[in-house]
Amino acid sequence: MGYEEDVDRLYREAKDVRAQIEDLWLDAQLTDVEMKGAVSAAQIDDLSDSERDFAVSFGVENAAKWHTLSELSTRLGDILETIERLKRNRE
């Protein structure tokens, strides 16, 4: 592959990763709201075991989403650094 093809491929990959980040970010924000609602309910009322398990599941689910967001952000940064390195080496 030549320089132009490499850069085009990397830009397409970066665009795809960014779209994944945006989708997951919105989803994680929604889960945050749901989790905060569950925590608020727990502060007001004693929760049953199933309600407590439900609240904990939101926390675990959201932690996984934020972890994936971190990985995607790192991947996007790596792709952008590679693009910049290719551009510098081309000059």
- Tens of pLDDT along 45-59? 666 767 667 777 777
Spatial separation of the C-alpha atoms in residues 30 and 65, rounded to whole Å? 11
What sign does the dihedral 74-80-86-89 (CA atoms) show?
negative
For tokens 């049953």, the residue is: 48
H-type helices in 1-91, by residue range? 3-44, 49-90
pLDDT of 39: 67
Mean pLDDT throughout 71-88? 96
Domain count along the chain: 1
pTM, 2 dp: 0.78
- Tens of pLDDT along 27-51? 988 888 877 776 676 666 666 767 6
Average pLDDT, the chain: 87
What sign does the dihedral 30-31-34-40 (CA atoms) show?
negative
Q: Provide the domain limits for residue 45.
A: 3-90
CB atoms < 10 A from the CB of 35, how many? 20
